[in-house]
Amino acid sequence: AEAAAGSSFDFPEVEAGVDETHHVAEGYDADILLRWGDKVFADAPEFDPMNQTAQAQARQFGYNNDYIGFIPLGAAGDRGILVVNHEYTNGELMFPGLARVVDGKVQLGDYTKELVDIEMAAHGGTVIEIRKGENGKWQPVLDSPHNRRITVETEMMLSGPVAGHDRVKTNADPSGTKVFGTLNNCAGGVTPWGTYLMAEENFHGYFRGELPEGHREAQNYARVGVPGGWYNWGNFHDRFDIGKEPNEPNRFGWIVEVDPRDPNSVPKKRTALGRFKHEGCETVVNRDGRVVCYSGDDERFDYVYKFVTSGTFNEADPAANADLLDDGTLYVARFDEDGTVTWLPLVHGEGPLTAENGFESQADVLIETRRAADLLGATKMDRPEDVQPNAQTGRVYCMLTNNTRRKADDVNAANPRAENAFGHIIEITETDGDFASTKSRWEILLKCGDPSIAEVGATFSPATSENGWFGMPDNAAVDAAGRLWVSTDGNSKDKTGRTDGLWAVDTEGEARGTSKLFFRVPIGAEMCGPYFTPDGETLFLAVQHPGDEGLSTFEQPATRWPDFDESLPVRPSVVVVTKQGGGRIG
Ligand code: FEO
Ligand code: CA
Ligand code: CA
Ligand code: CA
């Protein structure tokens, strides 16, 4: 395939399509770094898919890798800590003998407690040191003291305004400060002080049962979809049954901060950043030293948020930043028709956020962030995913993945398409490069989808080739040169004639709106995690739920990527991309 004219990226474009494996631009290597079931510790058990146990899984790389971050160790650029979220599990692809195809559908058999416990151990995150070997290839360091698995059983602290509140107290935790584990960690972030942020997204799916009659959380849970009933955990663990433990769902839906250097550190759920279905949490140091965190709430008609710390970042003393995320102001975005974005503060006692509306304190505002944002009149968006600041330009990119439920009589300037199947990307220009600004400008960078179909209304530049367009933007990264890369979730043979992948998108000058395909995933997968090392020479990618397309099961998966071994199942994996002969990517 030819390079798209006008692009500032000089790699030869990958040809879009669908097959059983991954493809990277010519001149680059894409190596498998970590697969589901790989050892995270030297003494961990070998992956044995036919004899899985929760104990083994808790020492091995988890399922469905999503966010990836890299925290350098030393100045040489050849060592670092990789942090990886494990968002969720696909039982039908994980467990032998569990799934059957009945009447043209994949059906799951009965879950045992052991299967539930394996799923719980496969969620969460992995912290693992990696190093460049003599051959220049990154490898996990299994005996590193930093290595850690975080699961649904890991002890965590609630910190910030909600800690200790009655609405987060349970039988197991009468203090309302001690939570076990984290759920559905989609994207995340790495802070300027080198901690790992895990965003809790679709937490509602893990709860079952019914609230006791007249319980005060009924309205709160209805707004977030609790109980979602996606998993069987509540049949074996009372805390996931809201009839037995009605406050447990209030302990999820937060941003979790992990110190990856200390494997014994207690992760903290930073309640000041609000409770909703956080896609991610990307941070930037503002020019005045305050830290600004951007987060999308991934649901149709939900919102874009940012949090501005009260304190300032202290580069000289990392410990001074330890609790920076406990104190600050959370804002939600209103996108006006005239191109203004107004950031509305979610502060108890201001405007409608008062006791008359059921908010007795800031803790109530944060527990029911969505309802507070509803009352402030925030703009209902087409499923906000990653919200990525670009520190070099003062701009911020909001991935709006899709919203096929938006009706023609309900469009607005920032969400202009009815039945928005392919999503769009909004660019915010924060005023004078001040990320803490409460009034800034916005415009649409791209309406996604196939530009050759007029009624789709896509706006990729004419220089974009037939491989270069995409639908359903999800995650984004900015490389060392300040350029934007976008990964997708939801492209498929039937929907767009191509798999998900990673596209390089120009935002500056004449090339603005030109997109090129750099990497594509195997059939059924979603592309997550794009993360560049600070030198721009390594790119980490997460291939999530490969094989999750059609009537795919453990026994008969749509692909056996990445091993292509009949004795091994399809496995979500982290891929590491480098340029042959070295140098910056892109
Ligand atoms: Fe887990 Fe918003 O995708
Ligand atoms: Ca996502
Ligand atoms: Ca990102
Ligand atoms: Ca998504």
Tell me how far the alpha carbon of residue 474 lies from the centroid of ligand 4, in angstroms.
Answer: 5
How sure is the predictor about 5, in pLDDT bands with cuts at 50, 70 and 90? low
H helices of 200-345, in order, are 218-224
Q: Are 353 and 372 in contact (CB under 8 A)?
A: yes
Per-residue confidence (pLDDT) for residue 204, from 0 to 100: 98
How sure is the predictor about 323, in pLDDT bands with cuts at 50, 70 and 90? very high
Handedness of CA 408, 412, 417, 419 (dihedral sign): negative
Q: Which ligand 1 atom is at minimum distance from the Cα of 186? A: 1
Q: Residue 345 and residue 337: Cα distance in Å, rounded?
A: 20
Q: Which ligand 1 atom is at minimum distance from the Cα of 279? A: 2
204-262: pLDDT as tens digits: 999 999 999 999 999 999 999 999 999 999 999 999 999 999 999 999 999 999 999 99
Pairing, β 304-312 against β 268-270: unpaired
Instruction: Using the predicted structure, report yes or no on whether residue 1 has a pLDDT greater than 90.
Output: no
Which region, left, alpha or beta, applies to residue 548 given φ > 0 means left and ψ of -120 to 50 means alpha? Answer: beta
Give the mean pLDDT of the chain. 97
How sure is the predictor about 502, in pLDDT bands with cuts at 50, 70 and 90? very high
How sure is the predictor about 6, in pLDDT bands with cuts at 50, 70 and 90? confident
Amino acid (one-letter) located at 545 = H
Q: Are 11 and 586 in contact (CB under 8 A)?
A: yes
Amino acid (one-letter) located at 433 = G
Instruction: Using the predicted structure, report yes or no on whether residue 87 has a pLDDT greater than 80.
Output: yes
Q: Residue 338 and residue 336: Cα distance in Å, rounded?
A: 5
Tell me how far the alpha carbon of residue 316 lies from the centroid of ligand 1, in angstroms.
Answer: 35
- The 3-state secondary structure of 481-538 reads CCCEEEEECCCCCCCCCCCCEEEEECCCHHHCCCEEEEEECCCCCEEEEEEECCCCCE
Handedness of CA 306, 308, 309, 310 (dihedral sign): negative
Phi, psi of 199 (to 5 degrees): -90, 130
Q: Considering every ligand atom, which ligand is closest to the CA of 386? A: 3
Q: Which ligand 1 atom is at minimum distance from the Cα of 385? A: 2
Instruction: Using the predicted structure, report yes or no on whether residue 293 has a pLDDT greater than 70.
Output: yes
Q: Residue 559 and residue 506: Cα distance in Å, rounded?
A: 33
Q: Which ligand 1 atom is at minimum distance from the Cα of 277? A: 2
Tell me how far the alpha carbon of residue 298 lies from the centroid of ligand 3, in angstroms.
Answer: 14
**Partners of 337 in beta bridges:** none
Tell me how far the alpha carbon of residue 282 lies from the centroid of ligand 3, in angstroms.
Answer: 6
Q: Which residues form the pocket of ligand 1, taking CB atoms under 6 Å from any ligand atom?
A: 87, 186, 201, 279, 298, 385, 474
Bond preceding residue 12 cis, omega within 30 of 0:
no
Q: Are 242 and 252 in contact (CB under 8 A)?
A: no
Q: Which ligand 1 atom is at minimum distance from the Cα of 298? A: 2
Q: Residue 46 and residue 543: Cα distance in Å, rounded?
A: 21
From the list 203, 193, 198, the residue with the least C-alpha distance to 291 is 193
Amino acid (one-letter) located at 337 = E
Q: Which ligand 1 atom is at minimum distance from the Cα of 184? A: 1
CA-based end-to-end distance of the chain:
16
Per-residue confidence (pLDDT) for residue 316, from 0 to 100: 95
Q: Are 430 and 439 in contact (CB under 8 A)?
A: no
Q: Residue 185 and residue 197: Cα distance in Å, rounded?
A: 9
**DSSP state for residue 16 in the 8-state scheme:** P
Average pLDDT over residues 59-72: 98
| Residue ranges of E strands in 181-327 | 185-190, 196-200, 255-258, 268-270, 282-285, 290-296, 300-302, 304-312
CA 492 to chain centre: 20
How sure is the predictor about 318, in pLDDT bands with cuts at 50, 70 and 90? confident
Q: Are 55 and 43 in contact (CB under 8 A)?
A: no
SS3 state of residue 238: helix
H helices of 225-360, in order, are none
How sure is the predictor about 566, in pLDDT bands with cuts at 50, 70 and 90? very high
Instruction: Using the predicted structure, report yes or no on whether residue 2 has a pLDDT greater than 70.
Output: no
Provide CB contacts within 8 A for 222, sequence distance 6+. none
Q: Residue 240 and residue 108: Cα distance in Å, rounded?
A: 20
Average pLDDT over residues 291-297: 98
Instruction: Using the predicted structure, report yes or no on whether residue 4 has a pLDDT greater than 70.
Output: no
Q: To which H or E segment does residue 362 belong?
A: helix 362-367
Buried b (16+ CB within 10 A) or exposed e, 48-72: eeeebebebbbbbbbbbbbbbbbbe
402-452: pLDDT as tens digits: 999 999 999 999 999 999 999 999 999 999 999 999 999 999 999 999 999
Pairing, β 155-159 against β 268-270: parallel
Tell me how far the alpha carbon of residue 548 lies from the centroid of ligand 4, in angstroms.
Answer: 14
In the block, tokens 């990527």 appear at 561
Query: In Å, how far are 119, 318, 334 from 80, measured between CA atoms?
Result: 28, 17, 39
Q: Considering every ligand atom, which ligand is closest to the CA of 279? A: 1
Q: Residue 552 and residue 544: Cα distance in Å, rounded?
A: 15
In the block, tokens 């350098």 appear at 72
Tell me how far the alpha carbon of residue 450 lies from the centroid of ligand 4, in angstroms.
Answer: 19
CA 526 to chain centre: 12
Q: Residue 419 and residue 405: Cα distance in Å, rounded?
A: 6
Provide CB contacts within 8 A for 128, sequence distance 6+. 34, 40, 61, 81, 82, 84, 140, 141, 144, 146, 147, 148
Instruction: Using the predicted structure, report yes or no on whether residue 472 has a pLDDT greater than 60.
Output: yes
CA gyration radius, the chain: 22
Using a CB cutoff of 5 Å, list residues around ligand 4, an ion: 474, 489
Which region, left, alpha or beta, applies to residue 198 given φ > 0 means left and ψ of -120 to 50 means alpha? Answer: beta
Using a CB cutoff of 5 Å, list residues around ligand 3, an ion: 386, 388, 476
Ligand 1, atom 1, lies closest to the CA of: 186
Within a 10 A sphere around the Cβ of 104, how many other Cβ atoms? Answer: 6
Per-residue confidence (pLDDT) for residue 526, from 0 to 100: 98
Tell me how far the alpha carbon of residue 27 lies from the centroid of ligand 3, in angstroms.
Answer: 25
Tell me how far the alpha carbon of residue 453 lies from the centroid of ligand 1, in angstroms.
Answer: 27
Q: Which ligand 1 atom is at minimum distance from the Cα of 202? A: 1
For 23-201+253-409+434-579, CATH gives 2.120.10.30
pTM of the model: 0.98
Tell me how far the alpha carbon of residue 255 lies from the centroid of ligand 2, in angstroms.
Answer: 15
Domains in the chain: boundaries: 23-201+253-409+434-579
Q: Residue 107 and residue 125: Cα distance in Å, rounded?
A: 28
ipTM: 0.95
